[in-house]
Chains A and B, each alone.
Chain A
Amino acid sequence: MYRFDYTDMAAGALLMIAGATVSIVSISNYPLGTLSRMGPGAFPAGLGVLLAFFGLILVVQSLRNEGERPDLRFWSPLFVLGGVFAFAIMVEPFGLIPAIIGITVISSLAELRIKASSLGLLCLALCFLAPGVFKFGLGLNIPLFAWPF
């Protein structure tokens, strides 16, 4: 337990920064227009202010509440997002099968203790299943292998 709700305080501060950024970017880059013919900047500029306002309320509220330690994790987001990252960079130059193996191996590491045999089987199964569903079932036009050079 903390004296203030630091999690909400940080969240509120982030919202204020995000809101201010949106408003500033909108006002400086996009015309605001007139009331009857609003420009592309008017709506987002207003929304940015609104977002920052909600952030402010959150900060004020956090001072009146006690808080708990947030549920922070390190390895899970790293490996799960890393898997998505691997898929995104591999699918176009190398094709579907290498991308499947990439995402499966990397995201499985999030489990921290993995058996090579079950991972191998999973990769194999997915290499048959995923193209089966998407390429042959739904008729998607993705090359299974590609050669970038």
Chain B
Amino acid sequence: MKKFIAAALTALGLAMPAHAADFPTGPVTIVVPYSPSGNTDVFTRYLAPYLEAKWGQPVVVDNKPGGGSMIGTAHVAQAEPDGHTLLMTSSAFVTAPSIQPDLPFDSRTDLTPIINVGHVSFVLITNADSPYETLEQFIEASKASPKFAATAGLGTTTHFAMEKFIADSGANVDVVHFKGGGPAVVSILSNETDIYGSSISSAGKNLEAGKVRALAVLGNERIDVLPDVPAAAELGYTDLEIKQWLGVFAPGGTDMAIVEQVNADIKEALENQTFIDTVTPLEWTLNGNTTAEFKTQIDTELTKWQGIADAAGIKK
């Protein structure tokens, strides 16, 4: 119906061709491929009012969960490329294609990357009562008797993080999948598994309460909330950088002028101090890169995760 009206209006010459200056001409829908209340949803709902104020048009957050975020992503890939349907998704965008072979869209061409809005860092944790004070001790111990690594589920960022860690360190570790970050942290608390690459947000309270111990940050630099925990790069793992990010996409073939405008408008919101203050407690580090940078990042990561999936023999 909406399309029908839009088409009718265009036919009558009431609507101008999509010029960046005219964007948006109607309500903008941001599709979130996760259920309400998840990290992605919360972030999007914080962002929406800023864009609404900027654009003077309603910005609707539409949850289309399922298929490990791929259902909502497919929906946007098939939407009209006029900038009025956008996608806010997580790094599942680059990890999922390497384990779900039959996606009804091409991650490289059917979606146009707009902006990377922020990321959460990952840390390797063990039970606080475990004998491992450093990552080195853990790797040595695993060579003597094999250990178990928890993940938040097959194909999740934490899974890829653990596979990459095993490949780079040569530790003798088997991965065990749990359903979500919560149960994975619990498996560390209950000593069912030995190590887990947790996002800061799911490990946070248990780190604070001294129930788990952080061995390393999965990245090249230390992070502000855990100044005493070494970065993986310091320990000699220079390629062990794993982050869960959030990014905005438009359907493939969207006018680049619109893409650049959305990029600039979102960047403006990310620099707003009130916005920064609301999302900081959620452990997000805000980014806001250019469209070209984000495009390069997506291409590199798609190749990188596919490589890890193939090397680790993760089922296709």
Contacts and interface: CB of A to CB of B under 8 A. Distances in A.
Contacts of B4: 147
- Give the dominant DSSP class at A's interface: loop
Contacts of A18: none
A146 B5 CA distance: 12
B32 to A, nearest CB: 13
A147 B4 CA distance: 8
A132 interface: no
B260 to A, nearest CB: 30
A143 interface: yes
A103 to B, nearest CB: 21
B1 interface: yes
Contacts of B62: 141
Interface string A124-149: 00000000000000000101011100
Interface string B1-22: 1001000000000000000000
Interface in B46-88: 62
Nearest to A40: B315
A140 B229 CA distance: 46
A143 B1 CA distance: 9
Contacts of B1: 143, 145-147
Interface of A: 141, 143, 145-147
Please give me the 6 A-B residue pairs with the lowest Cβ-Cβ distance, nearest first: A147-B1, A146-B1, A147-B4, A143-B1, A141-B62, A145-B1
6 contacts: A141-B62, A143-B1, A145-B1, A146-B1, A147-B1, A147-B4
